[in-house]
């Protein structure tokens, strides 16, 4: 059988699954996409909308270990735990800490940099075929610091310099010139003028998905419960059906481990949960995403309003969402 006739199944119609589907389709493969929900219903809907090719410095860094306890204790800190999930996370945390060593951090950062460097051109290739209709803006992304003595600031800047990541350090006046409506309790920041943001991540995903379907791609709204092999070919199983493919892509985001575990792949994947709220009709206040780096939250001007996104919460897949305390603007 020629490579081109290969049948490929992709589980998950988030941004990963849909982009994979389009690129594989461009190469001539027969692609079927599965999702138990409508496309773009999970993390690919609710994120901060950053296209951030500069984001190569991982969370695993030598300085983060010292910062974690105070982040967890503070109710306004960027990190939260669902305490019932802590015992299940211990093996993951142990690996996380081992990967915070300087050489491991640099290894990850270099590899992330290589991948991220390809991301904007790859999106451009996919965007050529759809009408984006103002859904992606090219105004850069701004990070500000409200804490003058933040250690990780120097570390991140140094690593990005070493990797050749373009970054522009900005002082108070420059931040004010960029974002005059921002209350000036910041001390400085970094501006990535080439970064972009989505004004509605889900709408972009749907346009990409429709392009995939219009070009002959198949979508099946089904929950994949199991994977096994039939003469080395992967077989997907729902409650009542089975599908056989030549190759398979598991793109279920945080839920991927449930399926990779069935294949006895020991992937150390856990869940970083996050939240957003919209402040309707306030998106005009800022021109680009702004991230409060030491507070762990950011604001993005979107179609739905000002989307405020934040908190890294470790809590697994089963816990219900935490209650958010939100004050109106
Ligand atoms: C608060 C927050 C802010 C973020 N901000 C950014 C940002 O600004 N920029 C950025 O690049 N990233 C950001 N991210 C990360 C980004 O959103 C995710 O990395 C990305 O959306 C993951 O896409 P995905 O396609 O892998 O997974 P998902 O979007 O989670 O999609 C997975 C899909 O798989 C389906 N699925 C799962 N299991 C099954 C099954 N058994 N059978 C069938 N279907 C199944 C689900 O229904 C879902 O549709 C953020 C994440 C969060 C939580």
Mind listing the pLDDT tens digit for each residue in 132-155?
999 999 999 999 998 876 666 888
Least confident range of 115-124, 169-178, 198-207, 290-299: 290-299
Q: Is the C-beta atom of 15 inside 6 A of ligand 1?
A: yes
* Same domain, yes or no: 171 and 80: yes
Q: Which atom of ligand 1 is closest in space to residue 300's alpha carbon?
A: 8
Last residue of one domain, picked from the residues 254, 269, 284: 269
Q: Which atom of ligand 1 is nearest to the CA of 48?
A: 8
Q: Are 228 and 208 in contact (CB under 8 A)?
A: no
> Does any ligand 1 atom lie closer than 6 A to the CB of residue 17?
yes
* Domain of residue 7, residue span: 1-47+199-269
62 plus 143 within the same structural domain: yes
What pLDDT is recorded for position 151?
67
pLDDT classification of 313: cutoffs 50, 70, 90: confident
37 lines ligand 1 (CB under 6 A): yes
- Give the contacts of 222 (CB within 8 A, at least 6 positions apart): 34, 35, 36, 238, 241
In a shared domain, residues 130 and 262: no
Q: Is the CB of 20 under 6 A from ligand 1?
A: no
Contact 230, 243 (CB under 8 A): no
> How many angstroms separate the alpha carbon of residue 173 from the centre of ligand 1?
37
Q: Are residues 142 and 242 in the same domain?
A: no
170 and 313 within one domain: yes
Q: Are 68 and 164 within one domain?
A: yes
Whether residue 218 sits in one domain with residue 181: no
76 and 170 fall within a common domain: yes
Average pLDDT, the chain: 91
How far does the centroid of ligand 1 lie from the alpha carbon of residue 13, in Å?
9
205 lines ligand 1 (CB under 6 A): no
What is the mean pLDDT of the segment spanning 180-198?
96
Confidence of residue 62 (pLDDT cuts 50, 70, 90): confident
Q: Are residues 303 and 182 in the same domain?
A: yes
Total domains, the chain? 2
68-101 per-position pLDDT tens digit: 777 766 666 677 888 888 888 888 888 888 999 9
Pocket flag, ligand 1, residue 251 (CB < 6 Å): yes
Does residue 256 share a domain with residue 212? yes
Residue 291: CB within 6 Å of ligand 1?
no
- Is the shortest distance between the CB of 36 and ligand 1 below 6 Å? yes
Give me the CATH number covering residue 36.
3.50.50.60
Same domain? For 85 and 129 the reply is: yes
Domain termination site, one of 269, 293, 319: 269
Ligand 1 pocket mutation pick from 21, 204, 252, 257 by most atoms within 8 angstroms of CB: 252
Going from the Cα of 253 to the center of ligand 1, the distance in angstroms, rounded, reads 5
Q: Minimal CA–CA distance to 275: which of 240, 310, 317?
A: 310
Of 253, 269, 285, which one is at a domain's C-terminal end? 269
The confidence score (pLDDT) of residue 320 equals 87
CA of 16 to the centre of ligand 1 (A): 8
Q: Is 270 in the pocket of ligand 1 (CB under 6 A)?
A: no
Considering the domain architecture, whether residues 224 and 256 belong to the same structural domain is answered as: yes
Residue 163 tokens read as 């990797």
| Ligand 1 atom nearest residue 55's Cα | 11
Name, of 93-102, 265-274, 278-287, 294-303, the range with top average pLDDT.
Answer: 278-287
- Which of 66-75, 149-158, 179-188, 205-214 is predicted with the least confidence, judged by mean pLDDT? 66-75
Q: Residue 84: which CATH number?
A: 3.30.9.10
Of the listed ranges 62-66, 162-166, 322-326, the one predicted with least confidence: 322-326
């Amino acid at each position: 059988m020629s490579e081109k006739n290969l049948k490929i199944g992709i589980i998950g119609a988030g941004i990963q699954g849909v982009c994979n589907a389009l690129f594989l389709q461009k190469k001539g493969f027969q692609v079927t996409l599965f999702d138990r929900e409508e496309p773009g219903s999970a993390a690919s809907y609710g994120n901060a909308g950053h296209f951030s090719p500069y984001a190569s410095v991982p969370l695993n860094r030598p300085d983060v270990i010292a910062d974690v306890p105070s982040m967890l204790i503070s109710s306004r800190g960027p990190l939260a735990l669902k305490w019932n999930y802590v015992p299940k996370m211990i093996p993951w945390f142990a690996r996380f800490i081992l990967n915070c060593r300087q050489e491991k951090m640099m290894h990850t950062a270099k590899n992330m940099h290589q991948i991220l460097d390809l991301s904007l051109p790859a999106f451009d290739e996919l965007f050529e075929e759809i009408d984006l209709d103002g859904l992606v803006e090219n105004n850069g992304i701004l990070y500000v610091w409200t804490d003058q003595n933040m250690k990780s600031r120097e570390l991140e800047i140094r690593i990005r310099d070493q990797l050749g990541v373009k970054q522009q350090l900005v002082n108070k006046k420059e931040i004010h010139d960029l974002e005059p409506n921002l209350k000036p309790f910041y001390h400085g920041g970094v501006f990535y003028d080439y970064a972009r943001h989505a004004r509605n991540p889900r709408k972009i995903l749907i346009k990409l998905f429709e392009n995939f379907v219009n070009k002959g791609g198949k979508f099946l709204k089904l929950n994949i419960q199991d994977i096994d092999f039939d003469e080395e070919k992967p077989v997907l199983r729902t409650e009542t059906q089975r599908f056989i493919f030549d190759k398979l892509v598991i793109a279920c985001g945080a839920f991927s481990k449930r399926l990779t575990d069935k294949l006895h792949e020991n992937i150390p994947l856990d869940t970083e949960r996050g939240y957003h709220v919209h402040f309707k009709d306030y998106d005009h206040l800022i021109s680009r995403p702004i991230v409060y780096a030491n507070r762990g939250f950011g604001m993005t001007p979107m179609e739905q309003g000002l989307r405020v996104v934040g908190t890294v919460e470790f809590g697994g897949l089963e816990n219900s969402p935490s209650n958010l305390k939100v004050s109106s603007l």
